[in-house]
Amino acid sequence: MTNDLRQGGVAVIDFGSQYTQLIARRVREQGVYAEVFAHDADADHINQHQPAAYILSGGPNSVYENGAPQAAPHILKSEKPILGICYGMQALTYALGGQVAPSQAREYGPATITHTPASPLLDNLDTNLQVWMSHGDRIEQPPAGFVPLAQSENSPYAAIGDLERNIYGVQFHPEVSHTPQGSAVLHNFLFKIAHLTAKWTPLAVIENAIEAIRAQVGDEKVILGLSGGVDSAVAGTLIHRAIGDQLTSIFVNTGFLRKNEPESVLAVFRDEMGMNVIYNNATERFLDALQGKTEPEQKRKIIGNEFIEVFKEEANALEGVRFLAQGTIYPDVIESASGSKTAHVIKSHHNVGGLPEQLGFELVEPLRDLFKDEVRKVGTALGLPDHIVWRQPFPGPGLAIRCLGDLTWDRLETLREADAIFLEELEKAGLLVGDTAQCFAVLLPVKAVGVMGDLRTYEEVIALRAVQTQDFMTADWVRLPYDLLAQVSSHIVNKVKGVNRVVYDVTSKPPGTIEWE
C-alpha cells in the first residue's frame, strides 16, 4: 500500500500485552491506521510512516524488574500525543519521574472508576465508568505536570494526564469489550487530543492497493495460488482489478475440499469474474501419496510438499512470470515487521510454504497491512459473495486432518456429506456467522454398534465441533441448542451412508486444540 494512507496514523508500541493487536484493531475501526511495533524497535522503523500519535500497550512486567521494557526516549521527546495503557501508563510514569509501586490489592477483572475533572480523554463519558483492570502495580505519584483524571477503589490514579503536553495514561484496558465505553475513550484520544483524520476505509484501502500493485508489477505477469479461502480470494480479486489478465491463478484440488467447493470457486472466479484460472484436479495424486499414512504431522508435510510440486509444475509451464501473489495478512507479519531487536521469530510468514524460495519469484502481498476483519470488509466492498467473504477458517490440509485414520475416497465423501449437513443446519438456524468462529465435522477411525430398522449396524462415528473465539489462541465450545444437535444427528445418520452415531465435542482450547489433528 502507498505511504499516503498509512501516514499520520498511530504507532502502537508493544510491551507484551495479549491485547496489543486488539488496540490496533480498535483504532482502525475508527478509521485511523494503526501499526504495531516492538518496544525496542529502532526509532526510524517506528517512524517510517510518520505516525501522528503513540499508544503504549499493557504488559506482564513490573517497571522495576531487571530488564523490564521501558518507554523509548525518542517517543517521550517526540512532542506528539501519547496514551499509555496499563503497563504503558506505568512505563510513562517511571520514565518521566513519577512513582510506581506494587498495589496493596491487585486489580484483575471488572472495576468502576470515577472521573470528575473535565479532560479531553474522558469527555462526554459517564462519571462512573465500568472498566476492565489487569495490573499488580499502581501509580503512587504522577510525574510533574500530570493531574489525576480518575480513580478506582484500589487505584488513586486510574487515569492521569498532562494536558499541556497531550500525554495521558489509563490503568484500565479501553480496547477490550469488557470496558463498555472504551471505544469512546480511544475516540477522544484520536480525535480530540491527537486531532487525527479518519481515512482508513475499505474503499481507500482498495484504491491504494490497486495503485501499489500497478506500481510494483508494471507490465509483468503474476501468479496466485487460489484456495477459495477469503485471503487468497480477496488478494486475487484486488490484483485482477489492478492488472487484469496479467494475473493467472492456479487452483489445485487436493481432494480434501468441502462439498461443492471446487465448483463454487471456479464459478465465482473463472465464470463470474472472468479471471484466468488454471484448474488442476490432483485428487488421485494426493490420495496415492497419503495411502497408509495416518500420523497427523506426516500427513501435513506430505500434503505441503505435494502441493508445492503441483504448483511448481503449473508455474513452470507458464512463461514470463515474475511475481508470486500471496494472501498474507497483518497478524502473520507482526512478529517480523515489529522491528524488535530481541524477539524470536515465532513462525515463518509465507502462507505457501517454500514457494518464493523454490521458484525465485518476487512477492506481491496486497493484504499484508490488513487484519482478518478488514480483509472481509474489503472483500465485501469488492463485490465478492458472502459465502466467500464469510467462509470459515479452513486448514491448508483440508479434510485430510478431519478424516482420522485411513484416507480413502469413500471416507472423505462420507465426511464431506456429514460436514455439509452440519453447516447447512447451522446456516438455517442463523448460527454460521458470528455465533460460531469455526465449525466442522470429523470422521473418527472407530466403529460403533447401532440399530437401524430391525438390523444391527457396525459403522463409523462423526464428531461435531463448534467453537467461539476472538483470536484462535484460546477457544470455547459453543453451547448449541439441543434441538439443533438432535436434528443434525438425525439427518447425518439417516442420509450419510456408513455412519450410525454422532457425538458433540465439548472440549475448550486449551486443553484441546480446535482441530483434531
DSSP 472-509: SSSBEE----HHHHHHHHHHHHHHSTTEEEEEE----B
Cell digits of residue 421: 449437513
DSSP 37-75: EETT--HHHHTTT--SEEEE---SS-TTSTT-----HHH
Q: What is the largest distance, in Å, between two alpha-carbon atoms of the chain?
A: 85
Q: Is 86 a catalytic residue?
A: yes
Q: Does residue 177 have a known ligand-binding role?
A: no
Q: Is 509 left (phi over 0), alpha (psi -120 to 50) or beta?
A: beta
DSSP 123-159: TT--SEEEEEEEEEEEEEEPPTT-EEEEB-SS-TTSE
Q: Under a CB-based contact definition with an 8 Å cutoff, are residues 258 and 438 in contact?
A: no
Q: Does residue 98 have a known ligand-binding role?
A: no
Give the Cα separation of 101 and 423 in Å (integer): 52
Cell digits of residue 165: 503536553
Angle between helices 230-243 and 202-217 (to 10 degrees): 60
From the candidates 39, 135, 173, 187, which is the catalytic residue? 173
Q: Does residue 227 have a known ligand-binding role?
A: yes
Q: Does residue 419 have a known ligand-binding role?
A: no
Q: Name the burial class of residue 430, with classes exposed (0-12), middle (13-18) and buried (19+) by CB atoms within 10 angstroms of its CB.
A: exposed
Phi, psi of 390 (to 5 degrees): -105, 20
DSSP 8-state class, residue 189: I
- Which residue type occupies 514? I
Distances (CA, A) of 399 to 113, 176, 433: 49, 34, 21
DSSP 8-state class, residue 201: -
Q: Does residue 232 have a known ligand-binding role?
A: yes
Q: Does residue 182 have a known ligand-binding role?
A: no
Q: Does residue 503 have a known ligand-binding role?
A: no
Q: Is 374 a catalytic residue?
A: no
Three-class secondary structure of residue 282 per DSSP:
coil
From the candidates 86, 306, 349, 365, which is the catalytic residue? 86
Cell digits of residue 9: 496514523
Q: Is 29 a catalytic residue?
A: no
From the candidates 35, 175, 306, 365, which is the catalytic residue? 175
Question: Which single residue is written with the C-alpha cell 531487571?
Answer: 66
Give the Cα separation of 442 and 433 in Å (integer): 20
Q: Which residues define the annotated binding site for ATP?
A: 227-233
The residues annotated with a catalytic role in the active site are: 86, 173, 175
Q: Which residues define the annotated binding site?
A: 227-233
